């Protein structure tokens, strides 16, 4: 299937590794120009160099999405460099699973306001696109209670609600909004890699709960996100696409 992404311009936050990195790679492989950010400047430079080495128009900057002025300025600069913007993928999370006030504040600043600020900053460019699309990376923790039922789960649920509202409000302007809710996703130096080393009992329990007997891979989550971002999904908006290998058991209506 041709996803129709050739010539599109996409922006991914947290785009150097894990799910965000895989999304950036797949967008590029499908012919899109890519702008990405993350907090680590060296990792951003390496990712941009890798994409450019493959002949992909790419740009990036070290940005903390909790710094709203810096995020807004970067999105405007990236859109200018790419000649516009068609796709926005807010992917960054604080991974706040603690119960203290600091965890709640961190999750709100990064997960919620980092996403809202990115959407607001990208909107003038998306409105000029012929195929504007927003794909927010949520989580199965936003659908049901699990070990991340504190701020992380609550804020992921809020992002699903936020995207649904965007879909309704922006439909007449030709801009789609969807979420992808990954299940447990394993990659080197990712959260489940660290849990495997630091809390093997929790890691084993997570594996036991998934009937596939394994965790997902970043590229499996990326395929769902890139499809929803593409013109091939032109009539899909307001959807929360769960990609979890049947981990969750609730019925989604």
Pairing assessment for the beta strands 240-243 and 58-62 based on DSSP bridges: unpaired
Nearest by Cα to 180 from 214, 211, 145, 226:
226
Q: How far apart are CA 53 and CA 182, in angstroms?
A: 29
Contact 209, 12 (CB under 8 A): no
The structure tokens 């992909």 sit at 56
The structure tokens 């929790």 sit at 202
Contact 5, 226 (CB under 8 A): yes
Phi, psi of 157 (to 5 degrees): -60, -40
240 forms bridges with which residues in the sheet?
179
Q: Which of 152, 155, 162, 186 is catalytic?
A: 152
Q: How far apart are CA 13 and CA 93, in angstroms?
A: 10
| 162 counts as catalytic | no
Contact 21, 218 (CB under 8 A): yes
Q: Where are the alpha helices (DSSP H) in 30-112?
A: 41-53, 68-82, 101-107
DSSP 8-state code for residue 89: E
Contact 15, 94 (CB under 8 A): no
Neighbouring C-beta atoms of residue 189, cutoff 10 Å: 8
Contact 222, 182 (CB under 8 A): no
Catalytic residues: 152
């Amino acid at each position: 299937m041709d996803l129709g992404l050739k010539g599109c311009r996409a922006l991914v936050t947290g785009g150097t590794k894990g799910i965000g990195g895989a999304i950036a790679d797949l967008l590029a492989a499908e012919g899109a120009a890519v702008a990405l950010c993350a907090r680590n400047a060296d990792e951003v430079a390496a990712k941009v160099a890798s994409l450019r080495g493959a002949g992909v128009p790419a740009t990036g900057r070290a940005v903390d999405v909790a710094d709203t002025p810096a995020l807004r300025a970067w999105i405007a600069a990236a859109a200018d460099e790419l000649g516009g913007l068609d796709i926005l993928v807010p992917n960054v999370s604080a991974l706040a699973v603690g119960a203290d006030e600091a965890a709640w504040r961190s999750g709100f600043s990064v997960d919620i306001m980092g996403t809202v600020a990115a959407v607001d900053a990208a909107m003038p460019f998306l409105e000029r696109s012929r195929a504007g699309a927003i794909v927010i990376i949520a989580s199965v923790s936003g659908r049901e209670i699990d070990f991340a039922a504190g701020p992380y789960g609550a804020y992921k649920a809020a992002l699903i609600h936020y995207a649904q509202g965007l879909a309704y409000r922006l439909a007449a302007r030709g801009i789609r909004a969807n979420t992808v809710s990954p299940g447990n996703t394993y990659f080197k130096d990712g959260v489940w890699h660290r849990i495997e080393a630091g809390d093997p009992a929790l890691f084993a329990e997570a594996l036991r709960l998934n009937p596939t007997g394994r965790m997902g891979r970043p590229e499996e989550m990326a395929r769902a996100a890139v499809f929803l971002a593409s013109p091939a999904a032109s009539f899909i908006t307001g959807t929360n696409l769960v990609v979890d290998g049947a981990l969750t058991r609730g019925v989604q209506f």
